[in-house]
Amino acid sequence: MTTDPMTRRDIPDATVARLPGYLRALHPLVSAGVEVVSSEELATIAGVRSAGLRKDLSYLGSYGVRGVGYDVERLASEITRQLGLQHPWSVAIIGMGNLGHALAAYSGFATRGFKVQWLVDRDPAVVGTTIAGMQVVDFEQFAASVTEQVIAVISTPPVAAQEVADAVVALGVRSILNFAPGVLNVPAHTQVRKVDLATELQILAFHEQRGKDDARLGADGIEASG
């Protein structure tokens, strides 16, 4: 294994999806001044298995010490670096309905590496109002002021989502978080992640209906789900 820090390792998608969880599990340890953590301990906090955690971390390189554990601070900063969170990313929230409103006010973005920079809506009655301390602008104002890389959050009604996606892609946006149910057609280089609230409930309904009590992770009947 080359230790060259510039090697672009190929980190599996499944691992990438768990890194944010590890980072969040590490934060209280950093704050508490804990120096070292074992894969077993961290896995428990993060709600995964220790073997999986070790494999995940091994894709980032060798940041642990055998017989000891992982240096908390070093590991946190390495994951931060891998996720590209050294400096905050700009976020534009497009669609200022109930959900856009809530997202604008959500403090979790700021604490985890994101700066909501634009609130965008097309309704003239909403444009110009202040939400969570920010002025809502229309799409033209947004388009005119975007210069840097930005992540677009689409919280419009479903019918407008594709149109908005096309428009932000035309502005050069390459990352979209979509709350509108339905499929977005975007160019291949554009990353889209979808959050569909009703779908989540429907998946729960399926299991609830089946009474599917899968007793995985048995222990004393407690399963960590995070």
Listed ranges 53-61, 103-111, 136-144, 204-212: which one lies at the site for DNA (CB under 7 A)? 53-61
Q: Which of residues 59-98 bind a copy of itself (CB under 8 A)?
A: 82-85, 89, 91, 97-98
The answer to the question of residue 223 lying near a copy of itself (CB under 8 A) is yes
Q: Is 67 annotated as a binding residue?
A: no
Residue with tokens 């992770």: 217
Q: Is 97 annotated as a binding residue?
A: yes
Helix (H, G, I), strand (E, B) or coil at 195: coil
The answer to the question of residue 24 lying near DNA (CB under 7 A) is no
- The answer to whether residues 61 and 9 touch, using CB atoms and an 8 Å cutoff, is yes
Sign of the Cα pseudo-torsion (15, 19, 25, 26, in order): positive
Give whichever of 3 and 98 is closer to a copy of itself, judged by the CB atom.
98
Q: Which of 79, 121, 77 is nearest to 97 (CA)?
A: 121
Q: Which of 57, 116, 152, 165 binds DNA (CB under 7 A)?
A: 57
Burial of 177 (0-12, 13-18, 19+ CB in 10 A): middle
The answer to the question of residue 210 lying near DNA (CB under 7 A) is no
- The answer to whether residues 186 and 194 touch, using CB atoms and an 8 Å cutoff, is no
The count of chain residues that interact with DNA, using the rule CB under 7 A, is: 26
Annotated binding-site residue numbers: 95-100
Footprint of DNA on this chain (CB under 7 A)? 1, 12-15, 37-40, 49-52, 54-55, 57-58, 62-70
